Amino acid sequence: MRLEGKVAIITGAGGGLGRAVAERFANEGAKLVLVDLNEEAATQTIEVIKKITSDVHFVQANVTKKDEVKNFVNEAVDQFGRIDVFFNNAGIDAEVTATSTYDEEMFSRVMEVNTTGVFLGMKYVLQVMQEQGSGSIVNTASVHGTRGMLNRSAYVASKHAVVGLTKTAAVENAKQNIRVNAIAPATILTEITKRVARELNPDNPQEHFDIMKSLIPADRIGKPEEVANLVNFLASDEASFITGAIVPVDGGMTAAFYRAES
């Protein structure tokens, strides 16, 4: 098992990607600290994990609040003694509208969760990993963290920022045996993407998925477990010489020349 005996924190553990990664990590032998603001969603993940291992601890936290981030980091250390892996995954989507008409409060909120939340998580987990002299962080970016997308200025900006934070932290910590990478998923079939599809086209949400599928050379939407496979590898010692990488899990989307979604 790739993560036998390792301690892993997962934020956004109640969401589709968080749950898939938590399940994979548990099957790989990790001890888990699951973090989410939504206790109900996290409880559903915990029920899945407890069928695999009893080494699971939940902390309710808002990743944009410094004290709450410090608390889940401290609880991980208190509970299990160290932090080997951090899947820095919590994030939100946002309204779909042009930059010229984008709501300013919504823009600030997206940046706060998707960028400041990622920064705070890295800041306080890195302090533990630096003391240990080892660790692996995997941030959740997006295919849209390296390119533009119509009517999604806040989300695209926030994920570009995650890419920058990832590369900077990787360079800063490489000599200390700490690796920092990011995943860049395309559309993955989760409850969040289903909700976005319903909001964009209440009468025919499938049309959104059909459009997104047409942009992906593999001609299908991704599965959460496919993302979990990548995160598991990057978290493991098998990826010991990989740091500062932004790894797509996108069915070839970023490799292709494509039309923008309208």
CATH of the domain at 246: 3.40.50.720
Q: How many domains does the chain have?
A: 1
What is the dihedral angle through the alpha carbons of 50, 51, 52, 54, rounded to the nearest 10 degrees?
30
Above 60 in pLDDT, residue 162? yes
Using CA atoms, how far apart are residues 26 and 53, in angstroms rounded to an integer?
7
Residue 67 lies in a domain: yes
DSSP letters, the chain, are -TTTT-EEEEESTTSHHHHHHHHHHHHTT-EEEEEES-HHHHHHHHHHHTTT-S-EEEEE--TT-HHHHHHHHHHHHHHHS---EEEE--------B-GGG--HHHHHHHHIIIIIHHHHHHHHHHHHHHHHT-EEEEEE--GGGSS--TTBHHHHHHHHHHHHHHHHHHHHHGGGTEEEEEEEE--B-SHHHHHHHHHH-TT-THHHHHHHHHTSTT-S-B-HHHHHHHHHHHHSGGGTT--S-EEEESTTGGGS--PPP-
For residue 38, the enclosing domain spans 7-186+223-251
- pLDDT for 209 equals 83
- pLDDT for 36 equals 98
| Burial classification of residue 238, based on how many CB atoms lie within 10 Å of its CB (0-12 exposed, 13-18 middle, 19 or more buried) | exposed
Residue 203 lies in a domain: no
Residue 79 lies in a domain: yes
- pLDDT for 262 equals 44
Q: What is the mean pLDDT of residues 217-233?
A: 96
Residue 11 lies in a domain: yes
What is the dihedral angle through the alpha carbons of 59, 65, 71, 76, rounded to the nearest 10 degrees?
60
Residue 161 lies in a domain: yes
Residue 164 lies in a domain: yes
Determine contact, residues 247/163, Cβ cutoff 8 Å: no
Residue 149 lies in a domain: yes
Above 80 in pLDDT, residue 192? no
Mean model confidence pLDDT for the chain: 94
Query: What's the whole-model pTM score?
Result: 0.95
Residue 132 lies in a domain: yes
Question: pLDDT category, 123, cuts 50, 70, 90?
Answer: very high
pLDDT digit string, tens, across residues 238-257: 999 999 999 999 999 999 86
pLDDT digit string, tens, across residues 77-117: 999 999 999 999 999 987 788 999 999 999 999 999 999 99
Select which of 102, 124, 155, 258 is catalytic: 155
Question: pLDDT category, 196, cuts 50, 70, 90?
Answer: confident
Above 70 in pLDDT, residue 215? yes
- 124 given a catalytic annotation: no
